[in-house]
Amino acid sequence: MKRFGITGWKNAGKTSVMERLVAEFVARGLRVSTLKHAHHTFEIDHEGRDTYRHRAAGAAEVLVSSGTRWALMSELRGDPEPALDELIAKMTLVDLVLIEGWKTSPHPKLEVWRAETGHPLIAPGDETIQAVATDTSLDLKIPVLDLNDTQALADFVQSEVRI
């Protein structure tokens, strides 16, 4: 599957860019899936729900399904976090997988950067970053794209992954 990452520091706007790119690619007729990396414990289930109770009892995996959607939750139970490639291999085949986070993985990425966050640019020290999406002017050796121009961002990603 074709894959492309959206990376950057906290509060740079990565999720907003992801959301807009998914909508744009779907409008272009592509099937898109996403992966989101979290640096903290997270819950997609809630205490008291049957599936939560199954996990709390010790189940390694819990799958919940309805006529609308299904979800598979896997508990690591002390095992190491799976590598990005392992996670992608578990996904249904689509045209494009957009990856939010995973700063250190070797896939190509677009950095979302805003000066107001106070964080340094990642791009100058990371050759996996193919372009920077920003709301300010930058002088870089890679393309600098308008953070608010969704079509231009999508065009760039689409040309990079050749879909």
User: Where does the pLDDT of residue 41 fall: very low under 50, low under 70, confident under 90, or very high at 90 and above?
Assistant: confident
- pLDDT score for 39: 73
| Longest Cα separation, the chain | 55
Do the beta carbons of residue 78 and residue 143 sit within 8 Å? no
Report whether pLDDT(30) > 80: yes
- pLDDT score for 40: 72
Report whether pLDDT(43) > 80: no
- How far apart CA 114 and CA 111 sit, in angstroms, is 10
- pLDDT score for 27: 98
Q: Does domain 2-40+80-161 have CATH number 3.40.50.300?
A: yes
Do the beta carbons of residue 87 and residue 109 sit within 8 Å? no
- How far apart CA 47 and CA 38 sit, in angstroms, is 20
Model pLDDT for residues 58-105, shown as the tens digit of each residue: 999 999 999 999 999 999 999 999 999 999 999 999 999 999 999 999
Model pLDDT for residues 125-139, shown as the tens digit of each residue: 999 999 999 999 999
- pLDDT score for 151: 98
Report whether pLDDT(42) > 80: no
- pLDDT score for 35: 96
- pLDDT score for 116: 94
Which one, of 13, 8, 37, lies nearest residue 148 by Cα? 13
